Amino acid sequence: MKEVKIYDQEKYDWALDSALKALSREDKKAFMNRIWDMSVVSNISQTDILYMFAQSAYSTSLISSFIYGGHK
């Protein structure tokens, strides 16, 4: 991904944390609201932010599969 300037780091961090909490509660509306907040303060498109979440989820699953012995 291209490097971007985050205009309000504190709000971006809050939105990211809130988005992760919404994901754990499976609250799609709150999650998408936080994605919108993140895009406003970072000038990153919502699509790129969703891609970032997907990429980190994929990386995490690869790491956990490696640590815990892969797929059974």
Sequence-separated (6 or more) residues with CB below 8 Å from residue 40: none
Q: Read off the pLDDT of residues 6-27 as tens digits, 9 standing for 90 and up.
A: 788 899 899 999 999 998 899 9
pTM: predicted TM-score of the whole model, two decimal places: 0.69
Q: Read off the pLDDT of residues 22-54 as tens digits, 9 standing for 90 and up.
A: 988 999 999 999 999 999 998 889 999 999 888
Q: Can you give the pLDDT at residue 50?
A: 92
Whether the CB-CB separation of 44 and 4 falls below 8 Å is answered with yes
Calculate the alpha carbon distances from 11 to 2, 18, 39, 51 in Å.
20, 10, 11, 20
